[in-house]
Amino acid sequence: MKAYDVIVIGAGSIGIPIALNLAEQKLSVLVLDSEHAPSQENNKKAIGGVRATHSDYGKITVSQRSIEILKSWKENHGDDLGWLSNGYSYPAYTPEDEKKLKDLMQVQLSFGLNIKWVMPEAYNELVPGIMMDELRGSTYSPEDGSCSPLLTAMAFYFNAKRLGVKFQFCEKVTGIAVNEKTIQEVKTDKGTYHCRMVVNAAGNNARSISQLAGIDIPVTPDNHEAGITEPVERFFGPMVVDMRKRPGSANFYFYQNHEGQVVFCITPDPSIWGVDNRSTSEFLPMCSKRMLEIYPRLKFLKVRRTWRGQYPMTPDGFPIVGRMKECPDFINAVGMCGQGFMLGPGMGELVARICLDTLTESDHRVLQSFNPYRDFSGMEVFK
């Protein structure tokens, strides 16, 4: 029977960076994934936006680190991830939204984030032609950015492989034997493995994987739909997040990626729980209407492709990360709530430090936000 230091379950936006970081620390790592290739579940469906401008210390710290890693990846590793420091913006069209955003900005500024309020005219320079009627201004965080989830996943994957990480695809984990709080073995439909630690990075399947170790965690996927257009010359800067609600949808957002393509995504309201990757006829009319409402210039842009994916949600919108009391060698890194891509690189380092017991003081503070044993009654200010 083969033995590894760590078995990572899930080769996605979280699992691959974790494996890479563990291999960098000379641990032997096996990554198991039930798909045919890396990042074939929700990782490849990510939009590509990466922001540090969240509302609490945990997410801010982890994604700030992600930005550092992604931004300097080409310099350090050679692969072009299509990184753009194009920033994020949350335009406000109502006094309530303006207040909400400005209140949050105070929190974000207190964490040292680079974010400012821009007046409508200035915003119109960032996003030329944006709907000015009722526009009250917008947040703008120029250090946030974007890169290709596909190129990123592949760069991390090949680097991990080069460092000796073993990836096994089309292999489903069927059992995790735990005895006296220690992991005995990991069973799959193809074999049985020994390991010191198991990291659950199984995205949509986080809950059922955790249950194999006898631990229940509240992770439930809900469906989101996204699309991408043809490429055109760059014509606007930041990610635009429209936080207003409309019938059928909560917020939606779009940006222009490094290829010149506009990528867009919408959050259905009410949520559509479950996993159903089939596209519905409602998405394109609903999302394109909202896009043209806020940005009429997009009207000539041709839609190339649409897709559906899931946010593995937790009740309060924060990830579940840490060693589990029921079995301290079983580590959850799950429930990314649709932010796995932007949290991934930073999370990879953090979880490696969990495995190696080298957590820093800041890490402990970060992990408070992601504590698996919190009461989940809180709610993120907004996503």
Partner 1 sequence: MEQHRIDKHPILPEPIMDMITFYWNGKPLSARKNEMISSALIANGISVFGHHHKDGTAQGIFCANGQCAKCTVIANGIPVKSCMTAVKENMIVTSAEGLPELPNDNEPIEFTEIPEIVTDVLIIGGGPSGLSAAIELGKNNIKTLLIDDKTELGGKLVLQTHKFFGSEEDSRAGTRGNDIGKLLADEVSKLPSVSTWVNSTALFVFADKKVGIIKDGEYILVHPERILNAAGAREKFLRFTGNHLARIYGAGAFQTLVNRDLVKPTQRLFIIGGGNVGLIAGYHALQAGVEVVGLAEAMPQCGGYKVHVDKLKRYGVPIYTSHTILSANGDEAVESITIVAVDDKFKAIVGTEKTFSCDTILIAVGLDSLNEFTLEAEQAGLPVYAAGDALEIAEASSAMFNGKIAGLLIAKDMGAQVGNIPDEWYIKANILKSHPGRILPYQDLSEARDVFPVIHCLQEIPCNPCTTVCPTNSIKIEDESLMGVPLYQGKCIGCNKCLLICPGLAITLVDYRKDIEFPTVTIPYEIGNYPVEPGQMIQLVDIDSIRLGGFEVIEVLSNKSRKTQLIKLKVPASLATKVASFIVQPLEVSQPLTTPIVPELMADEAMICLCERVSVKEVRNLIREGITDLNQIKAITRAGMGPCGAKTCEVLIKGLFREEGIPVSEVIPNTKRPVFVEVPLSKFPGAKKRS
Q: Binding to partner 1 (CB under 8 A): which residues in 3-32?
A: none
- Residue 272 touches partner 1, criterion: CB under 8 A: no
- Residue partners of 72: CB distance under 8 A and separation at least 6: none
Residue with tokens 């390991």: 195
Residue of 5, 25, 28, 40 that binds partner 1 (CB under 8 A):
40
Q: Tell me if 171 sits within 8 A of 189, measured CB to CB.
A: yes
- Residue 284 touches partner 1, criterion: CB under 8 A: yes
- Omega cis (within 30) before 17: no
Residue of 276, 325, 358, 379 that binds partner 1 (CB under 8 A):
276
Residue of 289, 328, 360, 378 that binds partner 1 (CB under 8 A):
289
Q: How far is the CB of 280 from partner 1 (least distance, A)?
A: 5
- Residue 271 touches partner 1, criterion: CB under 8 A: no
Residue of 2, 162, 194, 305 that binds partner 1 (CB under 8 A):
305
Contact window for partner 1 (CB under 8 A) among 34-42, 196-204, 329-337, 374-382 = 34-42
Q: x/- contact string, 230-259, with partner 1 (CB under 8 A)?
A: xxxx-x------------------------
Closer CB to partner 1, residue 301 or residue 337? 301
Half-sphere exposure (Cβ direction) of 127: Cα atoms closer than 13 Å = 32
- Residue partners of 309: CB distance under 8 A and separation at least 6: 42, 45, 46, 223, 224, 225, 226, 277
Residue with tokens 């946010």: 311
Q: What is the b/e burial string over 154-166, where b = at least 16 CB atoms within 10 angstroms of the residue's CB?
A: bbbbebbbebebb
**Helix 149-162 crosses helix 15-24 at what angle (to 10 degrees)?**
30
- Residue 37 touches partner 1, criterion: CB under 8 A: yes
Q: How far is the CB of 235 from partner 1 (least distance, A)?
A: 5
One-letter amino acid for residue 126 of the chain: L
- CA distance linking residue 276 with residue 221, whole number of Å: 10
- Residue 292 touches partner 1, criterion: CB under 8 A: yes
Q: If you ran DSSP here, which 8-state letter would residue 212 be given?
A: H
Q: How far is the CB of 221 from partner 1 (least distance, A)?
A: 16
- Residue 307 touches partner 1, criterion: CB under 8 A: yes
Chain positions contacting partner 1, by CB under 8 A: 36-40, 44, 128-129, 131, 133, 150-151, 153-154, 229-233, 235, 260, 276, 278-282, 284-289, 291-293, 296-307
